[in-house]
C-alpha cells in the first residue's frame, strides 16, 4: 500500500471539501480542483464568435453569434460537433474539436427580419446602425415527443446598436425562435429555424429566457436580465406550452403571479442568480444544486464565476470566481463565458464540466477547458461511497495522473485503502491527533469536517491493483 498525504496534494489531486448535510438544503460554493485547456472548438470554414451549445441525439449542436467565412458575414450561425466512443468531445490529434454543418452565406441561422434591416444577413442598416440578433444563451429542448424529433427554443433580444456598439434601445422586444430537428436530416444539415413570435416579450418588458434556463419535471424555468436595475428575474412555464405567453407565471417576493412584473420591479429580483454577464444554468447532481457558470460582469475578460442554489428560485450563493483564462491581444480580448453540460459524458451531473469563452486576437477562437471540481463530501456518504468518489476523482484528475505516474505501471488501477483524518484547530485535550475513518464513524467524521471546511487534512492510502493478476501492492 502506498500512503499519500493529501496535505501537499489537496489543491493538485484529490482536493476534498466537506459539504453541510443535504438536510440543510442550502447552497454551496464549488471549488476548483483543476483546469485543463483540452483544445479549441473550431470550424475550418467559419470564424465564429460567442458560441453556446446543447446536446442532441448523440451530437452537440452549437449556435454562435457573428460568423465570417471567406465570402460572407452573418449575425448568427450553427454547427455540429461529435463525440468519441467514451461520449466525450471528439478532439483530434491537433487539439481541435471540429465544427461542421451547412450554413447559408446569405442568411443568418436566426434570420434577420425585414424591420431589422433585413435582408442583410448581419442586420446592417443604411444609416450605419445595426440590429444585432445575437443569442445570449443556449437553445432549450422542448416538445421532444419521440426519440427522433425535437423542438429547440431560443429567445433573442432585438438589439439595435450604433457603429460603436452603444445600445440605442436598452429594453428592446424579444423574439422567440424554434429550431426543429428530425432524424431525416443529413449529417451536415442544421435544424431549420422558424420565427415563432418576433415580439414574444414586448418592448420594455423583462426578456425571460435570454439569460438562461433550467428544467425540472414538466416545467421550464427562464431567467431574464432586468436591464433597468441590473438584476435577474425568473418565470416558469409548462414545457409543453413554451409558445403560449398566457401560460407563463412570474416569480416575485410574493411567489408566482400571472402578471409580468415591470423591468424595474425590485420584488422580481432573484438575488445572485448570475452576475448580469453572460453564462449558463444547469443542474448538478454532484452538488445537489442548480448551478450558474459565467462571466463576472459584462466586459472584456476571461474570468469565470460560479453560483449554486437548491431550487431555481434560490437562495443563490454569491457568485465566486474560480478560473481565469488567457485574454487575447485585441482591445477587447475575451468575453462570452459559457458552460456546456452535455459535452460531459454524464450531462454535467458529475464532478467536472466543460466551459468555453471567446478569445479575440486577429480573429475569434474558442478555447475548450475541462473544469474538475473539488471532491465534495457530505454526511450522507457511507464509507463505500466515500471511497468510490475519491477513486473516481483520482481517475479523472489530470493532476493525479501526473503526480502518480512514477508509482504506476501500465494497467494498474488505483483503489482507496485506509482513510485517516488529521484534525487541525481542535482542542488537543478532547480530540485525538488523527482518526481512522470506519463505516461506524463515517457520518460523524464527515459532520465534523463540514463544520470548518479546509481546517482538517485527509490522509488517503492508495492500493495498486495489477491488471490481469488480481494482485495488489
Q: What is the mean pLDDT of the chain?
A: 87
One domain for residues 13 and 33: no
One domain for residues 365 and 407: no
Distance CA 297, CA 307 (A): 14
One domain for residues 339 and 422: no
Distance CA 460, CA 422 (A): 11
Among the listed residues 152, 44, 167, the one whose alpha carbon sits nearest the alpha carbon of residue 97: 44
Other beta carbons within 10 angstroms of residue 220's beta carbon come to 24
Q: How confident is the model at residue 214 (pLDDT cuts 50, 70, 90)?
A: very high
Residue 45 in any domain: the answer is yes
Q: How confident is the model at residue 411 (pLDDT cuts 50, 70, 90)?
A: low
Beta bridge partners of 98: 42
Angle CA(64)–CA(336)–CA(371) in degrees, nearest 5?
Answer: 105
One domain for residues 364 and 404: no
pLDDT exceeds cutoff 90 at 20: no
One domain for residues 231 and 194: yes
Calculate mean pLDDT across residues 316-322. 95
Number of structural domains in the chain = 2
Among 375, 406, 426, the domain boundary falls at 375
Give the ranges where 233-345 is alpha helix by DSSP (H).
Answer: none
pLDDT exceeds cutoff 70 at 409: no
The overall longest dimension of the chain from CA atoms, in Å, is 80
Among the listed residues 404, 470, 377, 424, the one whose alpha carbon sits nearest the alpha carbon of residue 3: 404
pLDDT exceeds cutoff 70 at 71: yes
Other beta carbons within 10 angstroms of residue 15's beta carbon come to 22
Q: How confident is the model at residue 472 (pLDDT cuts 50, 70, 90)?
A: very low
Report yes or no: 183 and 198 within 8 Å, Cβ to Cβ. no
One domain for residues 17 and 67: no
Q: How confident is the model at residue 378 (pLDDT cuts 50, 70, 90)?
A: low
Per-residue pLDDT at 350 = 85
One domain for residues 103 and 14: no
Per-residue pLDDT at 346 = 87
H or E, element range at 391: helix 383-396
One domain for residues 370 and 385: no
Among 344, 375, 406, the domain boundary falls at 375
pLDDT exceeds cutoff 80 at 333: yes
Q: Which residue has the cell 471549488?
A: 31
Distance CA 24, CA 248 (A): 30
Q: How confident is the model at residue 286 (pLDDT cuts 50, 70, 90)?
A: confident
Q: How confident is the model at residue 408 (pLDDT cuts 50, 70, 90)?
A: low
Residue 292 in any domain: the answer is yes
Report yes or no: 67 and 49 within 8 Å, Cβ to Cβ. yes
Residue 141 in any domain: the answer is yes
One domain for residues 336 and 382: no
**Looking at residue 275, which CATH number applies to its domain?**
2.115.10
Calculate mean pLDDT across residues 331-344. 96
* Per-residue pLDDT tens over the stretch 231-258: 999 999 999 999 999 999 999 999 999 9
Among 375, 406, 422, the domain boundary falls at 375
* Per-residue pLDDT tens over the stretch 416-471: 888 888 887 777 777 788 899 998 888 888 888 766 655 777 788 877 654 444 44
Domain containing 80: what range?
25-375
Report yes or no: 224 and 207 within 8 Å, Cβ to Cβ. yes
Which of 2-16, 36-50, 168-182, 338-352 shows the lowest mean pLDDT across its residues?
2-16
What crossing angle do the helices spanning 383-396 and 442-451 adopt, rounded to 10°?
60
One domain for residues 342 and 400: no
Report yes or no: 68 and 410 within 8 Å, Cβ to Cβ. no
Cell readout for 353 is: 464540466
Distance CA 136, CA 158 (A): 12
One domain for residues 121 and 221: yes
Residue 471 in any domain: the answer is no
pTM for the model:
0.83
Per-residue pLDDT at 406 = 52
Distance CA 157, CA 160 (A): 9
Residue 170 CB burial class (10 angstroms; 0-12, 13-18, ≥19): exposed
* Per-residue pLDDT tens over the stretch 116-136: 999 899 999 999 999 999 999
Beta bridge partners of 355: 339, 369
Among the listed residues 223, 142, 219, 212, the one whose alpha carbon sits nearest the alpha carbon of residue 181: 142
What percentage of residues in the chain have a pLDDT greater than 90? 66
Amino acid at each position: 500500500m502506498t500512503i499519500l498525504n493529501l496535505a501537499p496534494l489537496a489543491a493538485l489531486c484529490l482536493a476534498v471539501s466537506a459539504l453541510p448535510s443535504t438536510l440543510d438544503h442550502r447552497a454551496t460554493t464549488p471549488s476548483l480542483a483543476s483546469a485543463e485547456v483540452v483544445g479549441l472548438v473550431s470550424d475550418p470554414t467559419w470564424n465564429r464568435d460567442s458560441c453556446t451549445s446543447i446536446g442532441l441525439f448523440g451530437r452537440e449542436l452549437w449556435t454562435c453569434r457573428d460568423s465570417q467565412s471567406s465570402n460572407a458575414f452573418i449575425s448568427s450561425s450553427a454547427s455540429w460537433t461529435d463525440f468519441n466512443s467514451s461520449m466525450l468531445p471528439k478532439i483530434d490529434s491537433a487539439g481541435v474539436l471540429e465544427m461542421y454543418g451547412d450554413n447559408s452565406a446569405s442568411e443568418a441561422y436566426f434570420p434577420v427580419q425585414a424591420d431589422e434591416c433585413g435582408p442583410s444577413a448581419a442586420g446592417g442598416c443604411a444609416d450605419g446602425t445595426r440590429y444585432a440578433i445575437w443569442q445570449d444563451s443556449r437553445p432549450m429542448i422542448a416538445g421532444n415527443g419521440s426519440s427522433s424529433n425535437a423542438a429547440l427554443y431560443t429567445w433573442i433580444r432585438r438589439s439595435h446598436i450604433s457603429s460603436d456598439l452603444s445600445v440605442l434601445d436598452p429594453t428592446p422586444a424579444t423574439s422567440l425562435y424554434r429550431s426543429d430537428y428530425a432524424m431525416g436530416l443529413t449529417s451536415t444539415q442544421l435544424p431549420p429555424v422558424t420565427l415563432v413570435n418576433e415580439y414574444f416579450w414586448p418592448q420594455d418588458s423583462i426578456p425571460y429566457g435570454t439569460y438562461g434556463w433550467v428544467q425540472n419535471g414538466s416545467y421550464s424555468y427562464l431567467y431574464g436580465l432586468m436591464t433597468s436595475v441590473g438584476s435577474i428575474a425568473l418565470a416558469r412555464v409548462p414545457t409543453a406550452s413554451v409558445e403560449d405567453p398566457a401560460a407563463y407565471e412570474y416569480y416575485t417576493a410574493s411567489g408566482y403571479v400571472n402578471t409580468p412584473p415591470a423591468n424595474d420591479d425590485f420584488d422580481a429580483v432573484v438575488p445572485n442568480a448570475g452576475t448580469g454577464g453572460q453564462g449558463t444554468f444547469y443542474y448538478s447532481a454532484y452538488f445537489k444544486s442548480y448551478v450558474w457558470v459565467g462571466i463576472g460582469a459584462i466586459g472584456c475578460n476571461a474570468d469565470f464565476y460560479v453560483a449554486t442554489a437548491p431550487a431555481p428560485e434560490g437562495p443563490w450563493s454569491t457568485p465566486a470566481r474560480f478560473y481565469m483564462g488567457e485574454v487575447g491581444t485585441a482591445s477587447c480580448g475575451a468575453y462570452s463565458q459559457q458552460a456546456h453540460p452535455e459535452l460531459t459524458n454524464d450531462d454535467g451531473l458529475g464532478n467536472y464540466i466543460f466551459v468555453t469563452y471567446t478569445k479575440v486576437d486577429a480573429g475569434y477562437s474558442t478555447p475548450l477547458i475541462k473544469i474538475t471540481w473539488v471532491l465534495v463530501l457530505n454526511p450522507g456518504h457511507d464509507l463505500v461511497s466515500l471511497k468510490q468518489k475519491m477513486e473516481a476523482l483520482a481517475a479523472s484528475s489530470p493532476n493525479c495522473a501526473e503526480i502518480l505516474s512514477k508509482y504506476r505501471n501500465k494497467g494498474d488501477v488505483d483503489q482507496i485503502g485506509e482513510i485517516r483524518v488529521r484534525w487541525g484547530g481542535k482542542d488537543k485535550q478532547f480530540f485525538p491527533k488523527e482518526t481512522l475513518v470506519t463505516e461506524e464513524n463515517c457520518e460523524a467524521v464527515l459532520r465534523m469536517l463540514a463544520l470548518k471546511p479546509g481546517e482538517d487534512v485527509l490522509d488517503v492510502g492508495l492500493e495498486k491493483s495489477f491488471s490481469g493478476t488480481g494482485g495488489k501492492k
